Chains A and B, each alone.
Chain A
Amino acid sequence: MTEKAIEISNLKKTYSGGVEALKGISFDVEKGDFIALLGPNGAGKSTTIGIICSLVNKTSGEVRVFGHSIDKELEAAKRCIGLVPQEFNFSQFETCKQIVVTQAGYYGVPRVIANERAEIWLKKLSLWDKRDTPARMLSGGMKRRLMIARALMHEPKMLILDEPTAGVDIEIRRSMWEFLTELNEAGTTVVLTTHYLEEAEQLCRNITIINHGEIVENTSMKDLISRLDMETFVLDVDRVPDSLPDMKEVSFRKRDEATIEIDVPKEFALNQVFHKLSDKNINVLSMRNKSNRLEELFVRLTEKA
């Protein structure tokens, strides 16, 4: 049995105020994957992550982390995860080194080893010069990197980052991308939430899209991009023969006795489609663009970004 990094089934969360943040989501993350959890603000990304990392109590449903149920084997599940949360959550008065060493201690890493690891990770994240600086004196990008270093101190199998690049300038964003890619290549599963499609596209192999507390899509980045390049039309026709036309770029589907759906790459010359239909003696009476939930979501996402 190949165990998964994350298995979520029918997860629901209603906050005490009555907000239904998750309406029963299910998805898996493969071991070693680099996956994006994409969705607009308020979609339920942070809630999902909060539940996986025991910061939020779930209302119902099941979560497993590397096979460990968070209800029955919470401690084992926690050891597998390193979390970089959306909001800064360290003591502003402690120094970088204190913060990472203390965190390692919480996982039972002896101090001597914690000090060695602190040097390794703070150096990798260009924070070693700032090791004795109180966290509140760091810039936004440094604080973000400090949280990454802190999350890696117990050498987790999976790193979860909640909007790690929000409000970080482009140069730091790129170096962070590089860092995460290296980490993933070395075997760490990486889960990242973002509301930038570009970021997901650059980094991730797979993508789960969440909106209004529901999973909209859970697929490979490749498939998603190719589908975003397609348009679907609904054609009302006078007859639908058993054998529909056959074209390399276009797929035809019979919807009922008087309707055909076609998927066409964007900017494909449509008259080629009509030629094929004419050849089969099919007359198109009317045609409309089928609204695409995914597409609509992306329009909204890109407007925001």
Chain B
Amino acid sequence: MFSKESLIALQSIFIKEVTRYFRIWVQTLLPPAITMSLYFVIFGQLIGSRVGQMGGVSYMEYITPGIIMMSVITNSYSNVVSSFFSAKFQRSIEEMLVSPVPTLYILLGYIFGGVSRGLLTGIIVTLVASQFVDLEVHHWGILFFVVILTSMLFATGGLVNAIFAKKFDDISIVPTFILTPLTYLGGVFYSIQLLPEFWQTVSLANPILYMVNAFRYGFLGFSDIDIVHALILLSVFILSLFSLAYYLLTKGIGIRS
């Protein structure tokens, strides 16, 4: 299981993944920096200066954790979904299928690849944010934990999406129609306490709300929801998606005829 060969195979997949997104950094690492700068300028400075305070801090400070999280989510997801789908499309997935890499390590290799890009863009966006706002960290442990779990979750989600995808359109459906709306409605730009009670309850069904708030807690020390609750929820989601992805890969769904 943890043989030296398997670890070398894992390392190979990981290096291949990282090399891939560095090779196309203009498409992978640069856009989050630009988009997020725009968010900071437009929402943070221009509009934010009129909004005043939210949750006892400046609007800019309030939205920063959510914006970092947004880039972590999008990037960990899209790294795995594009990379795995293009491996299917170009059939280079066969390089792994003919070799003795255990399925678990294929899965981990892609997830670690996605997590690394999520973290890297998270760091880039944090650096961008620090040009606009003085960031202070309330709780490093939570910050770290939440960002790792979130990127794992979305990297795994990207993999499941790519396993089912049959054409290029299929890899943008979930990000466009599910991830983006859920992120915007996930309390990145507002506190759900501003919503009518009914919509507050509805919002609680949105998993991204928990991640954004838990992450915000790491920075600012307050949150719309309970942190422990959020961490448990995240772990449950990861375990279920991970098992699903493992099952699909073992069965060869979408990759073996």
Contact = CB atoms under 8 A, between A and B. Distances in A.
Contacts of A16: 257
Interface string A73-110: 01100110101010111111110001001111111111
Contact of B3 (A74, A78, A88, A108): A108
Interface residues of B, number: 30
A75 B253 CA distance: 20
A53 interface: yes
Contact of B16 (A74, A81, A102, A104): A102
Contacts of B23: 93
A15 interface: yes
Interface string A14-25: 011000000000
A55 B97 contact: yes
B131 interface: no
A55 B96 CA distance: 10
B91 interface: yes
Nearest to A78: B100
Contacts of A89: 90-92, 94-95
A108 B16 contact: no
Contacts of B9: 105-108
B12 interface: yes
B99 interface: yes
A54 interface: yes
B252 interface: yes
B98 A54 contact: yes
A110 B7 CA distance: 10
Interface in B13-28: 13, 15-16, 19-20, 23
Contacts of B11: 105, 111
Residue with the greatest number of chain B CB neighbours at <10 A, chosen from A81, A83, A102? A102
Contacts of A111: 8, 11
Contacts of A98: 16, 19
B223 interface: no
Residue with the greatest number of chain B CB neighbours at <10 A, chosen from A81, A106, A110? A106
A85 B15 CA distance: 24
Interface string B98-139: 111100000000000000000000000000000000000000
Contact of B8 (A55, A74, A108): A108
A150 B99 CA distance: 12
Nearest to B93: A89
B87 interface: yes
B86 interface: yes
A295 B15 CA distance: 53
Contacts of B16: 94, 98, 102
A251 interface: no
A105 B98 contact: no
Contacts of B58: none
A127 to B, nearest CB: 17
A57 interface: yes
A56 interface: yes
A133 to B, nearest CB: 14
B229 interface: no
Nearest to B8: A108
Given A55-B97, A75-B100, A106-B95, A90 B15 contact: no
B6 interface: yes
Contact of B257 (A15, A74, A101, A103): A15
A110 B96 CA distance: 16
B50 interface: no
Nearest to B4: A108
B95 A57 contact: no
Contacts of B99: 78, 103, 106-107, 154
Interface in B52-95: 86-87, 90-92, 94-95
A55 B90 contact: no
A109 B16 CA distance: 15
A53 B252 CA distance: 14
A81 B94 CA distance: 14
15 contacts: A15-B257, A57-B252, A57-B256, A79-B100, A88-B91, A89-B90, A98-B16, A98-B19, A103-B99, A105-B11, A106-B99, A106-B101, A108-B8, A108-B9, A109-B8
In order of increasing CB-CB distance, the 6 nearest A-B pairs are A108-B5, A105-B12, A106-B99, A89-B91, A75-B100, A91-B92
Interface of A: 15-16, 50, 53-57, 74-75, 78-79, 81, 83, 85, 87-94, 98, 101-111, 150, 154
Interface of B: 3-6, 8-9, 11-13, 15-16, 19-20, 23, 86-87, 90-92, 94-101, 252, 256-257
Given A54-B97, A111-B11, 10 more contacts: A55-B94, A74-B100, A81-B98, A83-B98, A88-B91, A89-B90, A91-B86, A103-B95, A107-B100, A150-B95
